[in-house]
Structure 1
Amino acid sequence: MIPLYKPFMPETPQINEILKSGQLAYGKYGRAFEEQLSHYFETSNVLVTNTFNMAILVALTTLDVKAGDTVIVSPMACLASTQPLLSIGVIVQWADVDPMTGTLSPESVRSLMNIKPKAIIHNHYCGYPGHIDEINAIGNEFGIPVIDDGIEAFGSEYKGKKIGNVGSDVTIFSFNPVRIPNTLDGGAVIFKDDKLFEKSKLIRDAGIDRTQFRDNLGEISPNCDITMIGHSATPMEINTYIGTQQMENVDSLLSTQRENAKLWKQWYASNLNGKPIENHNSNPNFWVFGILAEDKIEMIKEMRSKGYYASGVHINNNIYSVFGKSDFLPGVEYFSNHFVAVPSGWWVDLKDELNV
């Protein structure tokens, strides 16, 4: 069975040297990885974290989102994107999604402006960019920051620009094992605003200003005050070193995934049970290849019988009681009942198998 996900790992010849160096905390490889990401996204305001969970918390803390604040969120997301909000006491307000894409419905988001949310988190489901201009316009109109949740969208593009540099206030990424790139575990935050970026660097490191933290003897200085809530979110050198090696392969891996997507599109052109997700103004990374199936269960069975591990990937998070009562959301209901993903990753060779 061809898997839906598979971790990629390049050659990592410096691992043993790093392990024996005694320099395991955030250092030269952490900075090098951030520089690579800055070049990739064409922005200098990139911060790497030790987990995706911490990327979310650093982003929210930097935006002064606190316990009791309401944040608009899509139920069609990985649970890793939504659970961290509850850990700091945020009230999750579900918005509906476009039933054809699984991403936030601008009309639904606009209808929730009366509750005065503190932020909007815009998940780009399985790497398929959502209605970015429309959601950002709502955020700008009402003075509410928009966080692009790119947990599965590294390398995805919208109107010729990469997610991470499409005008949103903040973008978050995951580098867990089945993402590209992966650092075993990790995340990143990108800020559009320079002042917020500078603030986030302190928040990532427990609120510490390292230029003043120690005195001339190397002792912790009592004159260095901690003025804001922070997190222990700096990455380890092993992880970021792996990230630097991953970045050398990102373009070729994404190219393979996009070539596989073209073949899937040709194959599904003659399959009456499903049609591909349409890419409005976007070029997804095709972390998976998404289909809207007439019969979801039958499509999953059909593709697995052909040797491809098909799946719905995520379940709509508004079913979980931990988030409290949820209203019926028709777009979420439709998308959740029809979405199927098939493998399109770098490990899949479709040219001979699909005969298209």
Structure 2
Amino acid sequence: MDFIPIARPLLGDEEIEAVSEVIRSGMLVQGELVRRFEEMFSSYIGVRNSVAVSNGTVALDLALKAFGLKPGDEVICPAFTFIATSNAVLYQGLMPIFADVDPRTFNIDPGDVLERVNRNTKAIIGVHLYGQPFDVKAIGEICEDHNLILIEDCAQAHGAEYDGKRVGGFGTGCFSFYPTKNMTTGEGGMITTDDDALAERVRLLRNHGDLGKYNHVMLGYNYRMTNIQGAIGLVQLGKLDEFINARIRNAEYLSLHISRDGITTPWRDPRCKHVYNQYVLRVEDDFPMSRDALSSHLQSRGIGTGVHYPMPVYEQPLYRQLGIGSRCPVAEDVSRRVISVPVHPGLSNEELKRIADAVNSAG
């Protein structure tokens, strides 16, 4: 019985040939293929500008840098997400303020956000967690009412939609192309925006502040994407809708066939196109075993699992040491219940049945 991994990047002969062409050309660093990838990505998202960078954390870092916020300014982030979201705030000397999350979507809760807005608040980072958009309308209205910057952490949500519009096109979008994402360039990231001036600042910041050869007009960084990554990205982006459709089909199968009392399958906001970067079950109090026991049960049947994420960000040792974060009860509860099972597009029908059967037989 083959083991079913929690994630499996799908890379084939087209990606291999694209990389081989770059190597044969000798043009390995940022160049024409990166530019083409940026243009293709802009067209896909529906924005004027896409700026490719070395990874998704850098995308968040440069987006915040480009807005020129001052040390001590506050940025509201969800308490339940990967640590990179709030770490990017710390990079700037800014203060992350953690907001609680919705118990159904696990996305940032607009009501809790509103309670945390004050005169020091300058931006909100919403995360489209697991591939489901956060409540863009409600968060966007808060930003408009209080003159706040909206940054979308789209690391898990390539191709996701809110009211028919792709994420990354509402505020400033920040994408990751890590191998576990819905498309990959190995490492890599992208910043998307309709703000031409912001895009130009980001382009300068990613390349040593260089306006032309040896014409450095600001303090910048070496945060470029390589042509190798750009070549892979062009191929992967062409396959993204196919990958997404497979993830949605797989998620629908699992939701239909997992019918175990005490296990809650993912809830989808009807306004959203959920692209299921992760398929996350919630283990309820009436389930006869712990989440860890369920994970062991699935692993014993050759099924990979993950916990995304085991604690709110403010419970991480770094944030405890810094004394940052007030309690978010929903995030604390959710973090102790969630377990991810495979949903990636490489799954066969037989493997999907194995996953559902294994969950149903637990306990």
Global fold match (TM > 0.5): yes
Whole-angstrom CA distance in 2 between matches of 1:238 and 1:352: 33
**Equivalent of 1:118, from 116, 122, 140?**
122
How far does the alpha carbon of each residue in 1:177-227 deviate from its partner, in whole angstroms, 9 at most, with x for none?
2112211110000113232222222222222212xx4xxxxxx4xxx461x
Name the aligned partner's letter for residue 264 of structure 2. K
Per the alignment, in what secondary structure is the counterpart of residue 47 of structure 1? strand
- Residues 152, 174 of structure 2: 8 Å contact kept: yes
Residue 115 of structure 1: how far off its partner (Å):
4.9
The answer to whether structure 1 residue 251 and structure 2 residue 225 are counterparts is: no
How far does the alpha carbon of each residue in 1:122-157 deviate from its partner, in whole angstroms, 9 at most, with x for none?
012121211111111101110111111111111212
- Residues 207, 220 of structure 2: 8 Å contact kept: yes
- TM-aligned CA distance change 1:250 to 1:147, over 3 Å: same
Per the alignment, in what secondary structure is the counterpart of residue 168 of structure 2? coil
* Structure 2 equivalent of residue 265 of structure 1: 255
Whole-angstrom CA distance in 2 between matches of 1:345 and 1:174: 17
- Residues 305, 341 of structure 2: 8 Å contact kept: yes
* Structure 2 equivalent of residue 236 of structure 1: 226
Per the alignment, in what secondary structure is the counterpart of residue 155 of structure 1? coil
Whole-angstrom CA distance in 1 between matches of 2:88 and 2:300: 37
Residue 302 of structure 1: how far off its partner (Å):
4.2
How far does the alpha carbon of each residue in 1:280-322 deviate from its partner, in whole angstroms, 9 at most, with x for none?
1112111121222215334434433443222222232111232
- Residues 149, 171 of structure 1: 8 Å contact kept: yes
**Equivalent of 1:279, from 268, 272, 275?**
268
Whole-angstrom CA distance in 1 between matches of 2:67 and 2:164: 28
The answer to whether structure 1 residue 291 and structure 2 residue 260 are counterparts is: no
Matches within 5 A, 1:184-203: 184-203=186-205
**Equivalent of 2:29, from 25, 30, 34?**
25
**Equivalent of 1:154, from 138, 158, 171?**
158
Per the alignment, in what secondary structure is the counterpart of residue 231 of structure 1? coil
How far does the alpha carbon of each residue in 1:314-355 deviate from its partner, in whole angstroms, 9 at most, with x for none?
232111232232322111112112222111101112357528
Name the aligned partner's letter for residue 346 of structure 2. W
Per the alignment, in what secondary structure is the counterpart of residue 345 of structure 1? coil
- TM-aligned CA distance change 1:351 to 1:225, over 3 Å: closer
Matches within 5 A, 1:76-155: 76-155=80-159
- TM-aligned CA distance change 1:334 to 1:192, over 3 Å: farther
The answer to whether structure 1 residue 336 and structure 2 residue 335 are counterparts is: yes
Residue 90 of structure 1: how far off its partner (Å):
2.1
Per the alignment, in what secondary structure is the counterpart of residue 103 of structure 2? coil
Tell me whether 301-310 or 272-281 shows the greater mean CA deviation: 301-310
Whole-angstrom CA distance in 1 between matches of 2:136 and 2:256: 27
Name the aligned partner's letter for residue 271 of structure 1. R
* Structure 2 equivalent of residue 69 of structure 1: 73
* Structure 2 equivalent of residue 307 of structure 1: 302
Whole-angstrom CA distance in 2 between matches of 1:96 and 1:128: 17
- TM-aligned CA distance change 1:182 to 1:353, over 3 Å: closer
How far does the alpha carbon of each residue in 1:24-80 deviate from its partner, in whole angstroms, 9 at most, with x for none?
221110011112111211222111111212211110111112433221111211123
Q: Is the helix fraction higher in 1 or 2?
A: 2
Per the alignment, in what secondary structure is the counterpart of residue 354 of structure 1? helix
* Structure 2 equivalent of residue 317 of structure 1: 313
Name the aligned partner's letter for residue 303 of structure 2. Y
Name the aligned partner's letter for residue 329 of structure 2. P
* Structure 1 equivalent of residue 4 of structure 2: 2
- Residues 288, 343 of structure 1: 8 Å contact kept: yes
Per the alignment, in what secondary structure is the counterpart of residue 231 of structure 2? helix
Q: How many residues align?
A: 341
Tell me whether 291-300 or 107-116 shows the greater mean CA deviation: 291-300
Residue 158 of structure 1: how far off its partner (Å):
1.4
- Residues 260, 349 of structure 1: 8 Å contact kept: no
Tell me whether 288-297 or 247-256 shows the greater mean CA deviation: 288-297
**Equivalent of 2:207, from 176, 183, 205?**
205
- Residues 8, 178 of structure 1: 8 Å contact kept: no
Whole-angstrom CA distance in 1 between matches of 2:191 and 2:256: 36
- TM-aligned CA distance change 1:272 to 1:302, over 3 Å: farther
Tell me whether 89-98 or 13-22 shows the greater mean CA deviation: 13-22
Residue 264 of structure 1: how far off its partner (Å):
0.6
Whole-angstrom CA distance in 2 between matches of 1:198 and 1:181: 26
Structure 2 unaligned residues grouped into runs of 5+: 357-363
> Identity, % of aligned pairs?
25
* Structure 1 equivalent of residue 360 of structure 2: none
**Equivalent of 1:47, from 24, 46, 51?**
51
- Residues 250, 352 of structure 2: 8 Å contact kept: no
Per the alignment, in what secondary structure is the counterpart of residue 13 of structure 1? helix
- Residues 95, 109 of structure 1: 8 Å contact kept: yes
- TM-aligned CA distance change 1:352 to 1:335, over 3 Å: closer
* Structure 2 equivalent of residue 35 of structure 1: 39
Give the TM-score, by structure 2 length.
0.88
Q: What is the Cα-based RMSD across aligned positions, in Å?
A: 2.0
Whole-angstrom CA distance in 2 between matches of 1:289 and 1:14: 31
Whole-angstrom CA distance in 1 between matches of 2:298 and 2:280: 13
